[in-house]
């Protein structure tokens, strides 16, 4: 197997890469990395000294890459599927990269702030920071809702990079800060993402780990019973 993806089933940025791999039908070996395990963490640091997931190793080309967007870009160039994750048109590509950043920075970012803060002892919790993160999520929802008013996918006419970013970001963010009735276009977009077999497969594979998610009690019950077909 030439491709190995080092990831964790609950890591949203790993989900982003997995969706792209499943969309392309690319063969790869998945290696689960437990960052709490010293031996696993040490092996990850040998691959990528920053110590964050996901990391892709392409043994045939002797390439090791980190950062989800860069990995998807690489896969699109050297291990493409039937449909590209980035369009050929330069203007469409610019939009794909823009909305990839929107979901990573303005949805994933505040979502992770809230999750990470939940692990802190009460005396060390950043209540003002969490409130600001929730406000940023609501602002981002309004932006995305307007953007999705007249389109099916986030950038262009086909599912691509930006949608790979959107799916896990909106999945976890929507648990922490529900979209609300005023975000009908965003909610409809999320339902289209949920109907995508690649995303459903990722969620089914993550389900055995959901009990480790600190906001598990807020999950929509359907996430606990959905199938990949």
Nearest to 129 by CA among 156, 142, 144, 110: 110
Place 1 in a pLDDT band, splitting at 50, 70 and 90.
Answer: low
Q: Do domains 3-78 and 90-224 have the same CATH topology?
A: no
User: Parallel, antiparallel, or unpaired: how do β-strands 63-66 and 55-58 relate?
Assistant: antiparallel
CB 215, CB 115: distance < 8 Å: yes
- Considering the chain, what is the average pLDDT of its residues? 96
Judged on CB neighbours under 10 Å (0-12, 13-18, 19+), 127 is exposed
Please report, for the chain, the start and end positions of each structural domain, with discontinuous segments joined by +: 3-78, 90-224
pLDDT at 229: 72
**CATH classification code of 3-78:** 3.40.30.10
pLDDT at 228: 83
CB 145, CB 183: distance < 8 Å: yes
Q: Is the model's pTM score more than 0.85?
A: yes
Q: Which CATH number fits domain 90-224: 1.20.1050.10, 3.40.50.150, 1.20.1580.10, 3.60.21.10?
A: 1.20.1050.10
Q: How far is CA 197 from the centre of its chain?
A: 15
**How does pLDDT run across 75-91, given as a tens digit for each residue?**
999 999 999 999 989 99
Cβ within 8 Å of residue 72, ≥6 positions away? 16, 17, 20, 85, 161, 164
């Amino acid at each position: 197997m030439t491709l190995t993806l080092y990831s964790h089933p609950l890591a949203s940025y790993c989900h982003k890469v997995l969706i792209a791999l499943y969309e392309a039908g690319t063969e790869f070996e998945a290696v689960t990395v437990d960052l709490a395990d010293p031996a696993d963490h040490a092996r990850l640091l040998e691959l990528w000294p920053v110590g964050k997931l996901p990391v892709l190793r392409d043994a045939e080309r002797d390439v090791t890459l980190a950062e989800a967007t860069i990995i998807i870009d690489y896969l699109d160039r050297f291990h493409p599927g039937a449909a590209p994750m980035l369009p050929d048109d330069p203007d469409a590509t610019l939009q794909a990269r823009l909305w990839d950043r929107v979901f990573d920075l303005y949805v994933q970012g505040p979502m992770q702030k809230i999750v990470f803060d939940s692990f802190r002892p009460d005396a060390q919790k950043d209540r003002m920071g969490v409130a600001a993160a929730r406000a940023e999520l609501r602002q981002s929802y309004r932006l995305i809702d307007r953007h999705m008013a007249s389109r099916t996918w986030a950038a262009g006419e086909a599912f691509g990079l930006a949608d790979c970013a959107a799916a896990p970001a909106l999945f976890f963010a929507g648990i922490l800060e529900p979209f609300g009735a005023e975000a009908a276009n965003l909610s409809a977009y999320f339902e289209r993402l949920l109907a995508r077999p690649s995303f459903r497969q990722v969620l089914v594979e993550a389900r055995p780990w959901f009990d480790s998610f600190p906001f598990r009690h807020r999950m929509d019950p359907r996430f606990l019973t959905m199938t990949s077909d």
